[in-house]
Amino acid sequence: RPASLVVADFGCGDCKIANSVRNKVHSFDLVPLSPLVTVCDMAKVPLAAESVDVAVFCLALMGTNLQEILEEANRVLKQG
């Protein structure tokens, strides 16, 4: 994929994606395992609406507020 695509990594863990690609990656998790992590609830990430091209959930969809998390990803994803 082009390096111009912006990625939101929901439940990023130790930021393997951010450390592996050339893209701008916003890394979110409840525990800061890396200085790249923005600590927050994945249902309320500090991004503008329609500001990312790709949302990643790798082993991260186990919260009790799953619907809110998916709605948040939909909010920050660009149309199309």
Percent of the chain with pLDDT over 70: 100
φ, ψ of residue 68 in degrees (nearest 5): -65, -40
pLDDT score, position 62: 73
Task: Give this prediction's pTM.
Answer: 0.92
Q: What are phi and psi of 74, to 5 degrees?
A: -60, -35
CA 77 from centre of chain? 10
Q: What is the DSSP letter of 78?
A: P
Domain boundaries in the chain?
A: 7-76
Per-residue model confidence as pLDDT tens digits over 37-62:
999 999 999 999 999 999 999 877 77
Q: Which residue intervals of the chain are DSSP H helices?
A: 66-76
The CATH label, of 3.90.380.10, 3.40.50.150, 3.20.20.70, 3.30.230.10, for the domain at 7-76 is 3.40.50.150
